[in-house]
Copies of this chain bind each other. A is one copy, B any other.
């Protein structure tokens, strides 16, 4: 079976997200990615609050965004968030933003697991491993 889990979030560009070039300020795409990721995580039962409940935080250690086309004020778009199954103790998500069928940008974020002492977890925390098993990942 497929190792790819994908979730789609519909959003609309807000006025305060646009810059003097009348397009979405590039840094705001990380907000859209976050919104897509959280939507994915809530849908699949693996949210930030889950991690916190088990004593872990999941800070982002790497992010990138490749812009193909701009988004402007009022544009409606979708964030497609895909889970990438990693061998290491990391949560990796890939993103694609589309306006109708036009690819606006792609991106990726990598998160690690920190325990209650802010120590990096070198193996998957149990709650995360259970989730992966449940999802057949």
Contacts and interface: CB of A to CB of B under 8 A. Distances in A.
Interface stretch (A17-25, A86-94, A95-103, A127-135): A17-25
A27 B26 contact: no
A67 B62 contact: yes
* Copies per assembly: 4
A61 B57 contact: no
A21 B113 CA distance: 13
Contacts of A62: 64-67
Given A63-B64, A64-B63, A22 B20 contact: yes
By secondary structure, the A interface counts as: mixed
A7 to B, nearest CB: 15
A54 to B, nearest CB: 15
A18 B19 contact: yes
Contacts of A15: 19-20, 25, 34, 38, 48
B35 A25 contact: no
